[in-house]
Structure formats: structure tokens, C-alpha cells
Amino acid sequence: MKLFSTNSNGRRIGTVAAIATVVALAATGCAATDGGDAGGGDAGAGTIAFLPKQLNNPYTDVVLGGGAEGADAIGYDSQVLGPLEASASAQIPFIEQATQEGTNVIVIAANDPDAVGPALQTAREAGAKIVAFDSDTNPDYRDIFISQVVAKDVALIQLEIISEQIGGSGEIAILSATATATNQNEWIKFMEEELASNPDYSDITLVAKVYGDDDADKSFQETQGLLSSYPDLAGIISPTTVGIAAAAKYISTSDYKGKVALTGLGLPNEMREFVKDGTVQEFALWDPAQLGYVAAFAGKALVDGTITGAEGDTFDAGDMGEITVGANGVAIVGPPTRFNADNIDEYDF
């Protein structure tokens, strides 16, 4: 059965077949999908390379599934390139590979906003259009950034959820991905500002920020360390799908279950068991497939010259409709959704 992810306008994007293809190929550590075989490409098709922060990440698999479907829809041949570990420099050889191959569009989720800069600049000089998605580069190094949602909204919804669950007071900690991840750091910055300025959160204290590097084992260990180091900890926010799943796994079989609240950004399919067993009450996310899908259309629009990434530019994004580019070359896909026991079975990704 094919999964459809529905956008805010009720349009649907099929993702399961594309995700399955990407997952199977990404297992080699360097994947490629041929748009011609998928029915969208031909000998004269454009080319697009997707460079996620790391391969073999369930969230990334969903994003790349949307990207594969978007590439097929625009008639581009596509490939997935990327490291198995998320680090600042790990993406550089894959950018260089895409450049050497003459790729028309490079779509990247940056592990570090600046480390990838020189390689991306070389790619641009060679004629490639650069689309950042999920985690931005320094704006000097890309043409457009496809963002999940307004960054501040992501931060605020997680704070709202944790505050509700701990009764508006107590110690909290953040379990993040890598210390250099642009999206993670922006969300954390907004959380810290809101905690400092909003009287509704005056009784909540952020006592620690730790980094699991989007590695399940390390995130599991960091959760254990937080709970050991802060015996009065009331809640944990993990704004990363790997982190929240690992934290939930630890808490679910510990004495902290039902005592320490956990929220953040998670995939419904990974979090369902933890919601149903009471480990997690509620968490948030957007539809990850839409990021990859819209990024493909943005890349084609850049190649075709119908947009430059300037504020006010608009481009057609297929089933997602028309997308408008905002300030600083940022295009927003859609708002976050809160998942809980009442609605989690309605989602399959």
C-alpha cells in the first residue's frame, strides 16, 4: 500500500516507493537513483544530487524519498551521495564528486554551515545550482534554502509541549544532534531566548545541552548521563528524530518512565510504541518528504532561470503548489504538527 503525505492544501505526495528505493541504495553508503528507469528521465535529462547530513537515518530516508519523487516529477536523473556519519567535513568529498560529474543541482543538508563552503563555491563556479534543505549552509554558498517551517515556530512548539507536560516549572535539558548543525542551533537559540523573555516560562530552567551526533547509541548514552547527572530533571527536549527515539528507548525501560517528560521532533512510526506505552505524551514534526520534493522543483527552477533565489520569487512545486521565496533566500514548506495518542495512528512515515 502506498503512503501519501498530505500538505496543508490537501494535496498528496506519494512517498513509500521512493523511500524504499533510496533506503536500498543508500545501504551501500553512496546511492544513485536513475530517473530514466523511474519513468521521468531521458538521455537529455538534468541531473540532481542529494547530499543529506548522513545516510541510514530514518528521517533522512523519508526526506530522500520525497526528493526521489520530486526528481522523477521534473524529469531529472537523481542520485544520493553522503557520509555514514554526520561531521563537519564528511560531506566535502561528495560535493567534489557531484561537481566532477557535472551535476546540474546539488541539494545539501549541511552538517556545518561554513565547512562545506569552499567545495560548494567550486561547484557553483562549475555551473551547479545549490539548494540547501533541512539544515542551511552559510547563505553565501547556496542559491536557496528550503526550510521545513519557520525556525522560531519549531522552537516554540517544543517549549509549549514540555511546559504543558511538566506543569510550567522544573529543570529541563536539550539532547541535540551535532554541535555544529545549523537547524539545531537555531532552534536552541530561539528556545533559550524564549525561556529568558517569556514570563510563562520563568519557572523553567535549562540546565544542560548535550549532543548525540544523530547517533542512536551515543544519544542513548547521553540520555542516561543527563538523568544520572540531574536527579531533579523534569523533562528533556530532543529536536532530532534520532535523539528523541533513543531517549524514549532508554526511558521506556527505566525508573524515569512516567516521571521525566520527553518531547522534541520525531517520526510517528518510530515514536508510536513510546506514545502508546506512556513514555512520551506528545511530540512534533512536519512532513519530511515535502522537503526533498520541493527542493527538487526549486533546483529545476534555478536551472531554468525562472528564479534566482531572490525574495519574492515564486516557483511551481508540483503537488505542493506555488512556493514563494522569502527574505534571505528562504522558502518555507509548511507548519509543524503535534503528534499524540489521539492522532498518531493517522500517520505512516
pLDDT in tens, 99-129: 999 999 999 999 999 999 999 999 999 999 9
Q: Are 329 and 342 in contact (CB under 8 A)?
A: no
In what side-by-side order are the strands of the sheet with 330-332?
30-33, 77-81, 47-51, 105-108, 129-133, 144-147, 330-332
Q: Are 324 and 314 in contact (CB under 8 A)?
A: yes
Q: Is the whole-model pTM more than 0.85?
A: no
Q: Cα dist. 19→16, 61, 70, 185, 319 in Å?
A: 5, 6, 12, 28, 17
What is d(CA 290, CA 300) in angstroms, rounded to the nearest whole number? 16
Query: Which pLDDT does position 348 carry in this prediction?
Result: 87
Mean pLDDT across 306-331:
97
All three cell numbers of 163, joined, read: 511546559
Query: Which pLDDT does position 283 carry in this prediction?
Result: 98
Sorted by sequence, the CB contacts under 8 Å of residue 199 that are 6+ apart come out as none
Q: Which amino acid is at 29?
A: G
Cell 548525540 belongs to 212
55-86, pLDDT tens digit by residue?
988 889 999 999 999 999 999 999 999 999 88
Query: Which pLDDT does position 64 carry in this prediction?
Result: 96
pLDDT at 22 over 60: no
What is d(CA 57, CA 61) in angstroms, rounded to the nearest whole number? 6
Strand-pair category, 282-285 with 337-340: antiparallel
What is d(CA 213, CA 220) in angstroms, rounded to the nearest whole number? 11
